[in-house]
Copies of this chain bind each other. A is one copy, B any other.
Amino acid sequence: MTGIRRDSVRNRARLVEAAREVFAARGFEATLDDVARHAGLGTGTAYRHFPNKQALAAEVLTGATEQIAIDARAALEIDDPWLGLVDFFQRNAERQARDRGLYEALTGLGDDEAQARIWPGIITAVSELFDRAHAAGVLRPDAAAQDIPAIFAMLGPAFEMSRTIAPDLWRRYLTLMLDGLRATGRPDLPAPPPPVESLPLILRAGKRT
């Protein structure tokens, strides 16, 4: 009887690491072949360790996604309700700006179950941030927690620009939107926020069929 081969274990780890880098840089459009090559391994090896791209992606994203809800809770520790909100958005935007795969997983382009699993937790956690800010009167009264996925979706193009133009450019546009969210005597927002049931649709919007 033979034991577990050391090279096999090492190659699996290399694949995961390569996938992390490749998906972050190019999103899920990258092929498993791309990942394998980047890991210095053959295609066959990639397919022996993972049945398909989704499986590998799932492995890579676990943790990255949990982090989001953790961040939301951390933001609640910050005393100033406004700064807490800003902190949440900045932390998460920062990650997504660096990781295209993460952005795609959170908004529509990745796989569906992942989204369904992740967002409810985020919304719940962030709703508290919103409630607190509303109570303190620092957030415009007509802003709602349902606006969060929409805001992240809109940041997507800003992340892309950041990649090609200047790494920090997204901060400019996030600030613009956050300033729009502030409560300082401006007109009411037109149109109600999207209904909660349509959250999945918000995220799917833009997904090319």
Contacts and interface: CB of A to CB of B under 8 A. Distances in A.
Interface stretch (A46-54, A56-64, A111-119, A152-160): A152-160
A70 B150 CA distance: 31
Interface string A147-179: 100110111111011011110110111011111
Given A172-B189, A180-B179, A165 B201 contact: yes
A95 interface: no
A172 B156 contact: no
A165 B29 contact: no
Interface string A104-115: 000100000000
Interface in A23-68: 29
Most chain B Cβ neighbours within 10 Å, of A29, A163, A177, A181: A177
Say how many copies of this protein the assembly contains: 2
Contact of A178 (B150, B169, B180, B185): B180
A193 interface: yes
B161 A194 contact: yes
Interface in A166-209: 166, 168-169, 171-173, 175-182, 184-187, 189-195, 198, 201-202, 204-206, 208
A201 B163 CA distance: 10
Contacts of A180: 175-181
